[in-house]
Chains A and B, each alone.
Chain A
Amino acid sequence: MSILATLLDPTSGSARVGGHDVRREKRQVRELLGYLPQDFGLYPTLTTYETLDYIGLLYSMTDAAARRRRIEEVMERVNLTGVASRPVGALSGGMRQRVGLAQALLNEPQLLIVDEPTAGLDPAERIRVRSLLAELGGERVILLSTHLIEDVEAVADRVAVLHRSEIRFEGATSEMLDAVRGKVWEIEAAPAELAALRERHIETGLLRAGDRVRLRVVADSVDHAAARSAEPTLEDAYIWLMREDAGVAA
């Protein structure tokens, strides 16, 4: 993420954004992208509008009237107009995240890089940010990095699963689901059976059903009388892709 955002130089290999090399053509790359890092700060004494105005200058938007118009558009888009004159230090976490998103959209980027945009947000704010990203995805390429599968389900058309710098999967979300289809099982069992089942299979979920439990696992096959095949989710697919690290035989 940092390499694509031109904050770090690659130690080896190369990367291009919009045909521009991230090492040699940083300025051109920066003009094309909007970046929302996972961990970012804002000047607490500046208001929302002033923060975006400052960022607008960093994008070299020197025409004050055009900058003002663009800031108003973006604030409207991310629903920040009501807090335009409030210092960002007084905003909630969700609002600050939306300010972060607004600053990344100021230059109408062709590529929007968002790193864990919903981490640490309450459920209502998480849904709001996720919906916003889904909306924005129709207009530009969004590169979303997340550990939350719900984010991927809501936003992504294509997915790449990275694990220890290695690409485990790359393709459409439907292809990712296809990769695990027929390998997802739900087993209704007594609680006493749980330990043995967990040793043999990779768990992706557990629900209580009265005095019994419903264990969801991913496996090529399951040898249990109460096991039945289930519709896969991206979470199941992700766990399946990571099965080598789960420490059990699939």
Chain B
Amino acid sequence: MSPPEGRRAWSVAPALAWRELRAGVRGGAWRVLAALAFVYGWSTGNAPGRGASVSAYATGEAAWTGLGLVTILWMVMAAVREAQMRTEALVYSKPQTTERLVLARFGAAMVQALLLLAAMFAGAACGRLSVAGSLVGFEAYGGQIARAGVALFFGGAASYCLALLTASAVAGAVVGLYWMMMIAGRAYLAKVYYPAYTQNLWLYLCLGTLLVCVAAWLHRRARRGADRASPWVRGVAALGLAASAWSGWVVLRDGHDPQVWTHPALERIGMQNIVEGDRTPGFLLPDQHGRPTSLSGLGDRIFIVALWSPRDRESASLLARLSDLYARYGARGVLPVGVCISEDSGAGAAFARGERIRFPMVTDRGAYHAPQGTESSPIATAYQASSLPKVVVTDRRRRVRRIFTGISSYDGPWLEREIELRLRKEPE
């Protein structure tokens, strides 16, 4: 019986992965985990609000941290399962290549983990539906699934590879320790170490792919002596290495993390100071579409500069209010500008999508991690925003006319009254 070559041989890997997947999801352990993930998703995602972005963001955060640990353990077990179940002799005495086996098994275990992620987000969507009665901004879940999915992929790839190459569950579990340090060390660790941040996704996606290729390569050597690895393994490993190096450089170049790199433009933003009557501190940051945005570039309008953070659910409720104000006064030259203070460069865009925001939403991902996002954000420093939300109303020459700090300060008609006053003094 001669083995298939070329394209037909490639069909074996997905076919093997599909059978591995079926075997995995039939197991009691996976079903229990899926049920728990659904319940966990329900409890984190049943957030109120106009759109689904708060629910999606909270679920994304819970997914990459909590489910990340579960994924690491799941992948470790998948890597050492062969030895535990004593299937090695049967499997490796067959003509199939080691790389295809590794790829099929990793793929199947990873898909099982991603199905748990899907179960968690399904729970979140149901929870949200039960609280809000609608799924407005449902697409916000998509971005968060992608973000958490990449983090799970990286954690899963690293733990699977370590466990596979050392044939030890303990070695694989070291990645779990790294994960816990990452979660616990948010106050002091550099942002580059976090695979779930939008700005780091490409880096960790490439690193994960590289790790899988290296594992396939080394596992082949362990199984088959010094044979050369398949050309696709060598090719993808080389590409993964190059892509990882490039992504790592981009992360460092664009970041502003004193533990890694500093960014002169962000430092200049942080050196400004807000004073009533003076021009409001300026900034040049990407909006939800990735366009560099500054107040000066938005024309002679009355600005409502609103600083908020996705970490703070109450401050996120400000977004619905800003949307209402834009709908009411936008035609008369009033423009809200949301400033999202988050370590994740994609948070502002995710909320803009989920809350159907039409006005500019820039994100300041800050200088470093801190217990409070405002402690490391250059804009929060310039606007003296020690607590969020903070709302600043300017005149058409961008001079500060009114500052509101905290929800209670603008609750009721105060914000509208200030805008009406500005419009009377400076009609369009």
Contact = CB atoms under 8 A, between A and B. Distances in A.
A62 B8 contact: yes
Contacts of A53: 19
Contacts of B2: 31
A26 interface: yes
A61 B96 CA distance: 10
A55 interface: yes
Contacts of B101: 58
B425 interface: no
Interface residues of A, number: 34
A162 B19 CA distance: 40
Interface in A44-72: 45-46, 50, 53-55, 57-62
Interface string A79-99: 000000000000000000000
B87 A33 contact: no
Interface in B1-24: 1-4, 8-9, 11-12, 15-16, 19, 22-24
Contacts of A26: 224
Interface in B199-228: 224-225
Contacts of A39: 86, 89
A100 B86 CA distance: 13
B90 interface: yes
A84 B4 CA distance: 27
Given A6-B93, A40-B87, A100-B90, A54 B19 contact: yes
B85 interface: yes
Interface in B32-85: 84-85
Contacts of B424: none
Given A30-B95, A45-B23, A45-B27, A7 B89 contact: yes
Contacts of A42: 85, 87, 90
A9 B91 CA distance: 17
B86 A9 contact: no
Interface in B371-414: none
Nearest to B89: A37
Name, among A2, A31, A58, the residue most crowded by chain B CB atoms within 10 Å (CB to CB).
A58
Contacts of A23: 225
Contacts of A108: 1
A31 B3 contact: yes
A228 B11 CA distance: 68
Name, among B8, B26, B88, the residue most crowded by chain A CB atoms within 10 Å (CB to CB).
B26
Given A60-B4, A60-B12, A30 B94 contact: yes
B23 to A, nearest CB: 5
Interface string A137-180: 00000000000000000000000000000000000000000000
B92 interface: yes
B86 A43 contact: no
B26 A57 contact: no
B19 A46 contact: yes
A60 B9 contact: yes
Interface of B: 1-4, 8-9, 11-12, 15-16, 19, 22-24, 26-27, 84-96, 101, 224-225
Interface of A: 2, 5-7, 9, 23, 26-27, 30-31, 33, 35, 37, 39-43, 45-46, 50, 53-55, 57-62, 100, 103, 107-108
Given A41-B85, A60-B96, 13 more contacts: A5-B89, A26-B224, A35-B89, A41-B90, A42-B85, A42-B87, A55-B90, A58-B94, A58-B96, A59-B1, A59-B94, A62-B12, A100-B90
5 contacts: A7-B88, A23-B225, A45-B23, A46-B23, A54-B16
